[in-house]
Structure 1
Amino acid sequence: MEDWIFFRTVLDVGGAGVARRRGSGVWSVLAEAQREQHRRAEAQRRAAEARQREGERARREAQRAAARGEREALKAYQQGRESDAVRRSAELDDRVAELRGVLAAGLAGPGFSLVAGGRPAVPPFDPGPLGVPVPMPDQNWYLVPPPAGPQAYHPGARRQWEEQSAQARARFEHDWQAAWAAEQQRQHQLADYRAQYDAWAVERHRLLAGQAAQAGRLAARLRAGEAAAVAEYFEAVVDWREDWPDGFPADGEAVWDAAARRLVVRWELPPYEVVPALSRYRYVRSDDREDEVARPVGQRRELYREVLAQCALRVLAEVFRADTGGLLASVGLNGVVVATDPATGQEGERCLLAVEVGRDVFAGLALDRVDPLECLAGALGGRIAARPEKGGTVAEVPASVEPAPVPVPVLAVDGEGPDLFEMDPLEFEELIAELFRRRGLHTSTTARSGDEGVDVLAEDPDPITGGRIVIQAKRYRKTVPPSAVRDLESTMRRQGANRGILVTTAGFGPGSRKHAEGQPLTLVDGPMLLALLREHGLPGRLGPAAAVPVRPAVSAVELAPGQNLVLPGGEVRVRFRSGGAAADLTLLLLDAGGRVRHDRDFVFYHQPAAEDGAVTLRPDERTATVRTARLPDAVRRVAIAVNLDADGDGTCADLVDPAVELDSGGGRWLFRPPADPAVSAMLVAEVYRHPADGWKLRAVGQGWSDGLAGLARAHGVDVA
């Protein structure tokens, strides 16, 4: 129909033309119209195709953009994983650098100061961010400029300005109120923080005053040469530094041998796990995973041995640096680690290194340039376990103070002969030379000077078993220290002798005898000396001529805080004595976590017994008895404490000559609680189970400023 209408239109339009030009054809006009229509249809088709192509191009571009976004996101993700691996690898490198710098950090740090343990006093108040006031808003910030020019007289512009000004005033009021509330909160928090600081500072000043007073008393005891004071001082020296790396126990004990001017330190070393097992982290893009690259086993072992050597050198340096008064002639160090014994599966202490060094030798070291392992094993002659990470151990340096001194019996030989205790030293050496001469040796005494530690030189003429022998004669009344045995061993090597003999009028402790085991050393104590003299017809006695064999009472050994020993008996008797302020004896039965299992484990004035008499207290006599054999397995420790009267304000500084006496199996020990004015209850000692040694005793000296209540709460007692 449309074609027909179009055809009629062409005829109508072209009618005049036909009349005017008879020669023009109708079909040519129709063809032109059809061509025009075709052109329009073609243009529409091309436009539609163009739109389709444009849409396809847009879709493809969107897809490419999405792909680019995904690639960028993937790239950012992978870069993040790689950066994280690099960061964690850098942390491992930093840890290794920290371990390699243990000794350097100790040498760079400050030395120990007796006052306040070398630590700074009370720092000034620092409010931090709370010291900055909250800025209050300025009203000028919220002013809206009025319309200017022709707009100033336009009613709509004036109305809009008034609305904006009202909104600005509302915002200012809101912001000012918020800032004012924040400032009030800041001032309130600052006041609370200042009050907390002031309370802490008062308590800190009090503690420092007590520490200063205690330090003054310790200094006086040091000047007086009190053995317990020397051990207490050097134990504080090895414990005070807090800048050891993470995972380092940094805990030690010290024992002082006054006769030999020798200190033995027992220091807890870090476990093998402080050395990172990994060397780096690596991100693998293809699998989107992180690989952990293990540190070579040999490298890790060597680094651990180096760390142990650095710890030993650092502790020795701290001790010698703190010895400003020249008390120490030598220092022995036993480095132990608390770990599971691979042979028994039980937890206990293993000695990983041992070293003993004199002051002059250590002073000649340039510690900032030494190789720690070479220095420890070479220059100092120390011993370190070959495989410390696998349970390897070394023999310990013997402690210089024996837990139970060996009593020297007073014996006489038929009541005749000179008293060996009172004999002239040269005559005593001549007597010893004659004794061994009668035993078949060729002997001669040395001069009083230049003898290099040799009193008698002897030659055994036997062609097979004979050789040179060095003999030292010690005319002592007290137990011979282990250092004398080590000196004999050194003298024997210098003289090229194949045997050494140490003769004394006194006795030898377990440490001396243990050191002599397996060595070409012979120890001759007082009773053996008298028997040899009698056997070879020589005169001599120990003590007065009329003396008969007796066993003197064992004197008490004074313990320093942290010192421990193996109990020789199964029952421990405790006695507390003091003058001045009223104080009581208190005991607590503790589990493996250091807490009471129930209130019945709290033994005090109103509850004087626990576990059917395993622990008993006589409050009026201030004595107690701990029967270790009757304690159940759940009780791992028995804490022994002294507390001031809860109704008063007395402190440990108000006690006059306080002392806690303990005895077990013939051994006696004494601990003097520190006179701390900030403490009104103190844990003085504890009896505890040890996985290898059984029941042991440790002196403590830890206090609480809030008295018996604080002591009880710290150990799990419900205090109303």
Structure 2
Amino acid sequence: MARKRGFFAEMAYQREQAERRERQERTRAAREAERAERARQRAAAQTNRDMQAAYVRAQQEDAAARTSATHARIAELAGILTSAAFSASAVTFDQLRRPFEARRFNPGRLAHAQQPPYWQNYQPKPPSALSRLFSKAKIQQEFAEAQVRFTEAKERFQVNERQRLAALAQAETKHTNTERNRREKVDEHNRRVDELERGVKAKSPKAVEDYSELLIEMSPLPEDIPMDIEVAYQPDARKLLVIRELPDVAVIPGVREFSYVRSRDETVEKPRPQKEIRQRYADLVAQLVLRTMRDAFQIRPTGVIDEVAVNGQVSTRNKATGRPEKPCLVSVSATRAQFEELVLTELDPAECLRHLSALVSPHPWDLEAIRPIFDPDLSKYRFVDARDAAAGLDSRRVLLEMAPVEFEHLVRQLFEAMGMKAWVTQASRDDGVDAVAVNEDPIMGGTCVIQAKRYSGIVPADAVRALAGVMDDKRASRGVLVTTSWFGKATHDFSSRHGRIQLIEGPQLKHLVAEHLGKDVVIGELKRRTR
């Protein structure tokens, strides 16, 4: 049998047990706190990981969105010529006219009069028999007060009604005046449209110019593409001259792709190669010029415009002088018949310009200017005597229809006017001109071999190699290869590598003859180019 503890021993035992329970409780509380802290840390770590993952996803999505926007912009610029190619139609004069739709007069609350006051709502309640006997004076007083209130209510109603009717009449007068002004504006607008239509049908230059500008400017273009154009119309030739403002090369996105690098927490830009930027810019310039011609040919009736010529220029500043200038990058002219043969959705814009014998800057991205086929000062064309223009058209010579001796004489005249003095012509078996000429300029002079190819199709690449051989044989400092048609890529590449050979294609030849000899000539019908 266990020995019973004494009083003090029991107290010590109880104290020890209490301390033990307290230590256990503290231990449990510490463990609970430790577990809670670990849980909190795990939750915080998970929250941080979730936030990091969400941040990374956001950065990746942002990079993907920016890349997608860049791709969309490139696609938009690449489709300028073909966008709305089938839905684009001329803005007819009926579409320009505005119908007048009368608006119904709606005065709102003014149209409805308020309810007039009724005596039934004001008269006192019928008195009882007892009241009539003992309160006759009071009944008479209540009746008199009710009549006063009723009279005042009728007067207020009449005042309000007069004010309502006056406001109603004023609103109706205002509505009538507004409708009359609207109708007058619509009638004036339609009168101007009628006047414009009569002017266009009569081939009035001012009317045709206004209508053409309207057609071209109403054709929607992507953001950052200038809409500025200037036109001049030659009624006798039925020719529209257009100067189109072009964007510079900065319109092409310089970044091809955006990607997020997690290790550096940075969005990296993958630049677009300079070669691609230049190719896309040259393509964009060609598209804008062709689209301008497309929109200009939309004018109706079709007999108003038979030919459209476009100069594409860029507004910039000369880096040497700081002065503003507008270098021309493309200059082209085409008849309606030539343009209607084009399948805009299938062609290559740059090749199409070559097919149309356009003058195109060899480096448009550097704003390297070419001499346009018509003067950018359109005021000169707006005041030209129509009879002189018609006479010039009737007397134009067609280069491809010239006899060989005539063509040789023209080429000789041209280069003599450009500074060549001595001139020796050799026999040519390809219906062209082979000549050795001397430029007496003390700095840029020397022997020059000139070969002119009166072709209607592409000049073979062998021609430029043959010219290089003749230059070596004659120890010539320069060589010039002239054609009424155009050269292929291989010929241009060879000329660039050689460095001393100049190529002159049909449009430039036509321009040089006009500049140095004052003769307006026509190339003639060229063969269709293949891609």
- What TM-score results when the alignment is normalised by the length of structure 1? 0.42
d(CA) in 1 for partners of 2:361 and 2:508? 23
Query: Is residue 272 from structure 1 mapped to residue 218 from structure 2 by the alignment?
Result: no
Cα deviations across residues 67-95 of structure 1 (Å, max 9, x unaligned)? Answer: 22222233323332332232233222222
Residue 257 of structure 1: aligned partner: 234
Q: Are the equivalent residues in 2 in contact too, given 1:112–1:322 (CA < 8 A)?
A: yes
Cα deviations across residues 120-167 of structure 1 (Å, max 9, x unaligned)? Answer: 768999xxxxxxxxxxxxxxxxxxxxxxxxxxxxxxxxxxxxxxxxxx
Cα deviations across residues 473-515 of structure 1 (Å, max 9, x unaligned)? Answer: xxxxxxxxxxxxxxxxx9965699x999xxxxxxxxxxx9995
What is the count of residue pairs matched by the alignment?
A: 365
Cα deviations across residues 299-331 of structure 1 (Å, max 9, x unaligned)? Answer: 222222221111111111111222433233321
Which one scores higher on RCO, CA 8 angstroms, separation ≥ 6?
A: 2
Match of residue 343, structure 2, among 366, 371, 374: 366
Query: Is residue 390 from structure 1 mapped to residue 385 from structure 2 by the alignment?
Result: no
Cα displacement (A) at 1:333: 0.8
Match of residue 265, structure 2, among 277, 288, 295: 288
Match of residue 309, structure 1, among 286, 299, 309: 286
Q: Are the equivalent residues in 1 in contact too, given 2:63–2:260 (CA < 8 A)?
A: yes
Residue 347 of structure 1: aligned partner: 324
Query: Is residue 58 from structure 1 mapped to residue 18 from structure 2 by the alignment?
Result: no
Residue 425 of structure 2: aligned partner: 465
Residue 577 of structure 1: aligned partner: none
The range that moved more, 73-82 or 304-313, is 73-82
Cα deviations across residues 17-37 of structure 1 (Å, max 9, x unaligned)? Answer: xxxxxx986689999997777
d(CA) in 2 for partners of 1:200 and 1:308? 48
Match of residue 217, structure 1, among 188, 192, 195: 195
What amino acid maps onto 1:465 in structure 2?
T
Residue 73 of structure 2: aligned partner: 95
Cα deviations across residues 238-259 of structure 1 (Å, max 9, x unaligned)? Answer: 2333x21111221222222333
Cα deviations across residues 602-661 of structure 1 (Å, max 9, x unaligned)? Answer: xxxxxxxxxxxxxxxxxxxxxxxxxxxxxxxxxxxxxxxxxxxxxxxxxxxxxxxxxxxx
d(CA) in 1 for partners of 2:44 and 2:4? 60
Distance 1:39 1:391, change over 3 A: same
Question: Which runs of 5 or more residues in structure 2 are unaligned?
Answer: 104-173, 413-422, 433-451, 460-481, 485-506, 521-531
Distance 1:466 1:311, change over 3 A: same
Residue 27 of structure 2: aligned partner: 49
Alignment of 1:71-82 (within 5 A): 71-82=49-60
Residue 331 of structure 1: aligned partner: 308
Cα displacement (A) at 1:366: 1.0
Alignment of 1:579-658 (within 5 A): none
d(CA) in 2 for partners of 1:458 and 1:291? 64
What amino acid maps onto 1:390 in structure 2?
D
Cα displacement (A) at 1:460: 7.7
Residue 517 of structure 1: aligned partner: 512
CA RMSD of aligned residues (A): 5.0
Residue 439 of structure 1: aligned partner: none
d(CA) in 2 for partners of 1:372 and 1:499? 22
| Higher percent of residues as strand | 1
d(CA) in 2 for partners of 1:250 and 1:520? 31
d(CA) in 2 for partners of 1:351 and 1:343? 18
d(CA) in 1 for partners of 2:102 and 2:74? 36
What amino acid maps onto 1:358 in structure 2?
T
What amino acid maps onto 1:85 in structure 2?
A
Cα displacement (A) at 1:381: 2.4
Identity rate of aligned residues, in percent? 24
d(CA) in 2 for partners of 1:384 and 1:499? 16
Cα deviations across residues 451-473 of structure 1 (Å, max 9, x unaligned)? Answer: 98669975989994388999xxx
Q: Are the equivalent residues in 1 in contact too, given 2:98–2:189 (CA < 8 A)?
A: no
SS in 1 for 2:332: strand
Q: Are the equivalent residues in 2 in contact too, given 1:460–1:467 (CA < 8 A)?
A: no
SS in 2 for 1:266: strand
Distance 1:292 1:360, change over 3 A: same
Cα displacement (A) at 1:367: 0.6
d(CA) in 2 for partners of 1:516 and 1:74? 66
What amino acid maps onto 1:302 in structure 2?
Q
